Structure 1
Amino acid sequence: IKAAVPAGPSIDTSTYRKYYTHPFLPLTQKPLFMISDFRERRTLDDMFYLLMGVVLLLAFVRTVFPRYFKNLFVLFLQTSLRQKQTKDQLLQDNLGSLFVNLLFIISASIYGALVIGNKEWLDYPFWHIVFFGAGLLTMVYFGKFLFLRFSGWVFNSKEAAVNYTFTVFLVNKVMGVILVPFLFLMAFAKPGFKEVALTVSVGLMILLLLYRYVISFATIRNTLKVNALHFFLYLCAVEILPLLLLYKLMADYIGGRF
């Protein structure tokens, strides 16, 4: 006796009922309506290429102007700035000085933008802060250069003005080179390492500034017959106060309050 052939396809209701009530397949729940924003993946490719450009500039200076680069640190590490031959060699190489000054402007502006971004002090695009900082540093130090040269001409102290200007820009150039490895740490390291890099770099910059002021005072003390109090008043009036005012102006401008 043959078994009866079913008239239609068989339906496995038990299996369907099992998955119909499964918690990961909420077929009986009310549908949800939601709008998800497009996820923009944040990459650091532009930062990597920017910092590689800084390294390329440093390598260019090191390769094209090897004598200038070497004399820069030789003179910086000497106990005094009386080594006239080394100093004269640095003063004669204007093109090398220009590129190292450019390295300082770029390194310092990127460093400032990274610090502002990591600390979330300003809600402003990174590139805008870099360009604004570079323009601000250029304006400050170009104005300082003109002011010192003009003061040396007015007070008939050209040699003292040249020596002080040379010391200021010498320390700036060394600072621009030293900041390069910290840029990579501030950009790509983990938050804990970023804090360590920030602390160490700020400490080094403070030491460099103190070194600059001590050497500058020792350089012009005998020429202009000034004491420590007069030099301190000069620093407050001509260097520290303008920088604080420009920083306040930049913060107000970027923050939209200006």
Structure 2
Amino acid sequence: MTETQGPASFRLAYVPGVTPAKWVRVWKERLPDVPLALIGVAAADGGQLLLDGGADAGLVRLPVDRTRLSAIPLYTETTVVVIPTDHPATAATEVAAAELSDLIVLHPLDDTLAWETRPGLPAIERPATTADAIELVAAGVGVLVVPQSLARLHHRKDLTYRPVPDAPQSQVALSWPEDRTTDLVEEFIGIVRGRTANSTRGRTPAATQPKQEQKQRKKQPKPQQKQGATTGKPRQGAAGKQAGGRKRSGSGTPATGRRGKPGRRS
């Protein structure tokens, strides 16, 4: 059920690796009177934050509790392996999971990939976070398999990454509590889905657009077909009609046209 009144501001949670900047920019253009607050949250805590009322909606990683949370999948990320820049695997354009079998593959506690069987050799201890795992990769302890956005987020000059096409992938979604679908949540859903401000499901209908924009629409010229219907035939046709009228009265006949038989006057 949609609530008729939303909060004075809109709180948007987002997990590491997700960049909400483009949607936030559209929000500020359409709803400048409604502040949007960004709340960073760990990937594992995004769903619970929404259920606890800590945010109105969130850009999270699936899966989430679909019995209580609504979710709209947005995109699926490429999975990559993070390696040192001098690692032999840098010679390849991509790396299969089986090629990691002889390497230590770090498995941080905040891992977002759902592996059935993890590749490679396990480390003695699991790093607490992806950031900690990145530090270990830079120290030469092992390699790390993560969504590409996390590899970019923790970019270092001494590290690079290569796609792992047969690894599990992470899917990012817009999620919110199903029983708290406010008008502002609907507005953000429209922005994420690319609806225009004039959409019938949007918050700003066409009737409430600025008067200046409506006046500009009225000033637009009518289609050429309608102009023809009101102004008559083209000038060339009108001129031809006038010329034809002169021929019928004789006033438009050239002077040489009546001097064809000079012998009769002699």
Q: Please tell me the TM-score bracket, short chain as reference.
A: under 0.3
Larger Rg over CA atoms: 2
More strand by share: 2
Comparing both chains, which one has the higher relative contact order based on Cα–Cα distances under 8 Å and sequence gaps of 6 or more? Answer: 2
Taking structure 1 as the reference length, what is the TM-score of the superposition? 0.23
Of Structure 1 and Structure 2, which has the larger fraction of its residues in helix?
A: 1
